[in-house]
């Protein structure tokens, strides 16, 4: 269950830490005191969008922390499936955000917002003020049915979604092959032309780079040859006079000197090495000069080949490798066009097979849903009777969509009759906002038992109700509170009187700033708050006595329940 909530620098909240207990936790307060802010803080952990405007004025960040403890087996299993560790029987979810940045953590470890949202969904369920309006949409009605029958339906839903993906792919393949004959002939001819043009070029990977190097050398060969020839004249390569001849004579003379004086030995050896090095250099230089010589025909052939390759590059890819890759793709596409009839037959066969598989799974899923729907109908009827729908009929009707989807082919519609003699009609045609709210309350109670979610949060579930109906809603909340931890924001004294723990949310002005506070109420303070809800203005002794009586009767009712 939710043990504590810590909120810092969020809207009007400077810092609040509140500890919740088991059973029914009631939160009351004046309109505008900040009840919606408190609920909004929990929704942030459930993935709600955070904005800079939510940070308290003057603060640089906002923080929300939810601490859960005493987890049941269902919550533990769900968290383990998400690879969320449970430390000392506790799970701490936190979200801190500042301008342009949001950080989510589970047990102090940074995680993605979607992962924390999934973890939070295993631990608590929030019913906001306007969520009951979603009951009017058929897709939400189907979602509720599937949530109720999830144990039976989950595997079938997954198989159906996979089968739909395969069927959709097969349909796409058929559409791709369904080209008109004339268009296919034009495409085939064009592909044959392009393939022929590329193939005739006989491209070799890396050939373009080698040719570009050769062409650059030939283009610059005159300048290169002049410089190299001058260098050769300086070293005396292939000449009778020059540095080579002089160094040879120097080496010979130093050998004579070394023969007469041992101290000149190193100089002699150095002269010999220089002579040998210059000889090697001259031989390499001569070979390089020979490589610079070319004829005009070779130059023209190289230029023509480069022009051919660059033309292909401009049309089919910026490198020979990409051109050849494009050639392979075109050949495969041409093969499909040539073998079009055979491929069409295979694609249609695949389409029929996937459709048959999908249809079979959709029928199984629909049958399982209808079985679950019969159970859910009876539970909703009983739940609505508990909420003062005295003569109610409820039915989930099935129809088939025009096409398949990943959810199958079912379309459901919730039908209801709240008065004797009235025919069943869609929810949106006959129920009021207060009735929708009670229907959603009944559904939430059913799904919570089914999913074994420990903490349920209701924000003003009392919208549009009063009198005896409000009393029945309070009794329903008390019943839910026996099996779950419930946090309920309410304006109705009938519901507030049922509290196992009562908190008041207040707005205070201090030192020129306004902030929201939340504090637990003892028995006497709870009676005073009930009196405020009853009177709306002046709290008299008569109103206080009425509040005490309401609290006493609520206690007796809870004991009886």
Average the pLDDT over 80-99 and give the result.
89
Same domain, 313 and 234: yes
Verify that 200 and 58 share a domain, yes or no.
no
Q: Considering 284, 308, 338, which residue would you say is the last residue of a domain?
A: 338
CA 35 to chain CA centroid, Å, is 30
Lowest mean per-residue pLDDT among 215-229, 479-493, 501-515: 215-229
pLDDT of residue 521: 94
Of 315, 338, 361, which residue constitutes the final position of a domain? 338
Determine, yes or no, domain membership for 86: yes
Q: Are residues 85 and 199 in the same domain?
A: no
Residue with the larger pLDDT of the pair 421 and 374? 374
Length of the chain in terms of residues written: 561
**Are 478 and 501 within 8 A, CB to CB?**
no
Identify whether residues 330 and 198 lie together within a single domain: yes
Which segments within 137-252 are labelled E, that is strand?
none
Is residue 401 a part of any domain in this protein? Answer: no
Among 354, 460, 349, 367, which Cα is nearest to 409's?
367
Per-residue pLDDT, averaged over 377-406, amounts to 91
**Residue 183 predicted with pLDDT over 80:** no
Question: What are the angstrom distances between the C-alpha of 396 and each of 103, 136, 177, 184, 424?
Answer: 42, 13, 42, 50, 10
Cα 129 to chain centroid, rounded: 27
- Tell me what pLDDT residue 179 has: 65
Mean pLDDT of 471-500: 89
- 85 and 11 housed in the same domain: yes
393 neighbors 381 (Cβ within 8 angstroms) = yes
Give the N- to C-terminal CA distance of the chain in Å, as an integer: 22
Q: Sorting pLDDT into bands at 50, 70 and 90, what band is 93? A: very high
User: Is 491 a member of any domain?
Assistant: yes
Residue 292 in any domain: the answer is yes
153 or 365: which carries more pLDDT confidence? 365
| Same domain (yes/no): 115, 192 | no
Q: Pick the residue with more confidence: 228 or 75? A: 75
In a domain, 445, yes or no: no
Whole-number average pLDDT of the chain: 85
Residue 190 shares a structural domain with residue 333: yes
Among residues 67, 156, 73, which one has the least CA distance to residue 360?
156
Ramachandran region, residue 206 (left: φ > 0; alpha: ψ -120 to 50; beta: rest): left
Contact 416, 392 (CB under 8 A): yes
Identify the pLDDT of residue 511: 72
Q: What is the CATH number of the domain that holds 81?
A: 3.40.50.300
Which tokens sit at 296?
Answer: 């005009």
Comparing 154-158, 171-175, 258-262, the range with the smallest average pLDDT is 258-262
H-only helix segments in 387-488: 427-430, 433-451, 467-483
> In the prediction, which pLDDT does 180 show?
61
Rounded CA-CA distance 280/270 in Å is 15
Q: Which residue has better confidence, 537 or 164?
A: 164
Q: What is the pLDDT of residue 459?
A: 79
Q: What proportion of the chain, given as a percentage, has pLDDT over 70?
A: 95
Q: Are 207 and 328 contained in the same domain?
A: yes
Q: What does the pLDDT average to over 386-409?
A: 91
Q: What is the pLDDT of residues 360-375, one digit of tens each?
A: 999 999 999 999 999 9
pLDDT in tens, 303-344: 898 898 898 888 888 888 888 888 888 888 887 777 777 778
Residue where a domain stops, chosen among 338, 354, 373: 338
- Asked, for residue 504, whether it belongs to a domain, the answer is yes
Token pair of 330, please? 């075109």
pLDDT tens-place string over residues 11-48: 888 888 999 999 999 998 887 767 777 778 888 888 88
More confident position, 283 or 519: 519
Helix (H, G, I), strand (E, B) or coil at 542: helix
Residue 559 has pLDDT above 70, yes or no: yes
- 425 in a domain, yes or no? no
Higher pLDDT, 542 or 182: 542
Helix (H) or strand (E) holding 6, with range, is: strand 2-10
Same domain? 207 vs 322: yes
Say how far apart CA 336 and CA 383 lie, in whole Å.
Answer: 61
**Does residue 223 have a pLDDT over 80?**
no
Across 445-452, average pLDDT: 76
pLDDT of residue 2: 94
pLDDT of res. 462 = 73
Given this model, what pLDDT does residue 129 score? 57
- Mean pLDDT, residues 143-169 taken together: 90
Q: Does one domain contain both 318 and 197?
A: yes
Residue 280 structural domain:
185-338
Residues 116 and 201 in one domain: no
Q: Tell whether 417 is covered by a domain.
A: no
Do 334 and 458 reside in the same domain of the chain?
no
Overall domain count for the chain: 2
């Amino acid at each position: 269950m939710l043990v504590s909530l810590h909120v810092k620098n969020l809207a009007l909240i400077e810092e609040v830490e509140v500890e919740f207990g088991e059973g029914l936790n009631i939160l009351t307060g004046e309109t505008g005191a900040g009840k919606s802010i408190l609920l909004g803080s929990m929704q942030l952990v459930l993935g709600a969008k955070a904005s800079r405007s939510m940070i308290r004025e003057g603060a640089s960040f906002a923080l929300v922390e939810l601490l859960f403890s005493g987890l049941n087996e269902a919550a533990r299993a769900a968290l383990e499936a998400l690879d969320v560790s449970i430390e000392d029987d506790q799970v701490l979810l936190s979200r801190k955000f500042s301008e342009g940045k949001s950080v989510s953590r589970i047990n102090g470890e940074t995680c993605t917002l979607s992962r924390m949202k999934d973890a939070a969904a295993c631990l608590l369920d929030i019913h906001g003020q306007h969520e009951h309006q979603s009951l009017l949409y058929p897709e939400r009605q189907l979602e509720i049915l599937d949530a109720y029958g999830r144990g039976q339906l989950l595997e079938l839903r997954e198989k159906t979604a996979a089968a739909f993906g395969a069927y959709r792919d097969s349909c796409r393949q058929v559409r791709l092959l369904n080209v008109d004959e004339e268009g296919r002939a034009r495409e085939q001819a064009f592909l044959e032309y392009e393939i022929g043009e590329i193939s005739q070029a006989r491209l070799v990977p890396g050939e373009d780079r080698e040719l570009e190097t050769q062409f650059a050398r030939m283009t610059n060969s005159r300048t290169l040859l002049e410089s190299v020839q001058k260098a050769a004249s300086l070293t005396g390569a292939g000449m009778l006079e020059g540095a080579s001849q002089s160094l040879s004579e120097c080496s010979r003379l130093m050998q004579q000197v070394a023969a007469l004086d041992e101290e000149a030995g190193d100089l002699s050896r150095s002269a010999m090495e220089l002579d040998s090095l210059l000889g090697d250099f001259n031989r390499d230089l001569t070979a390089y000069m020979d490589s610079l010589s070319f004829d005009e025909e070779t130059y023209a052939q190289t230029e023509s080949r480069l022009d051919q390759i660059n033309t292909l590059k401009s049309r089919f890819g910026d490198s020979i490798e990409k051109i050849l890759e494009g050639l392979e793709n075109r050949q495969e596409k041409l093969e499909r066009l040539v073998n079009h009839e055979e491929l069409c037959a295979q694609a249609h066969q695949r389409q029929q097979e996937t459709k048959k598989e999908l249809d079979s799974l959709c029928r199984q899923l629909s049958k399982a849903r209808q079985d679950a729907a019969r159970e859910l109908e009876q539970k909703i009827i009983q739940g609505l009777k508990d909420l003062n729908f005295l003569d109610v009929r409820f039915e989930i009707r099935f129809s088939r969509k025009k096409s398949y989807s990943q959810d199958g082919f079912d379309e459901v519609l919730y039908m209801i009759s709240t008065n004797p003699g009235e025919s069943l009609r869609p929810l949106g045609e006959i129920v009021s906002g207060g009735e929708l709210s009670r229907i959603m309350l009944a559904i939430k109670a059913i799904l919570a038992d089914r999913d074994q979610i420990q903490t349920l949060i209701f924000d003003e579930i009392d919208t549009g109700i009063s009198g005896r109906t409000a009393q029945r809603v309070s009794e329903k909340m008390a019943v839910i509170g026996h099996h779950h931890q419930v946090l309920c924001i309410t304006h109705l004294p009938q519901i507030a009187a049922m509290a196992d723990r009562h908190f008041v949310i207040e707005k205070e002005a201090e030192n020129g700033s306004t902030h929201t506070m939340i504090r637990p109420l003892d028995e006497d303070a709870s009676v005073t708050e009930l009196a405020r809800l009853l009177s709306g203005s002046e709290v008299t002794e008569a109103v206080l006595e009425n509040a005490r009586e309401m609290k006493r009767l609520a206690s007796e009712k809870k004991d009886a329940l």
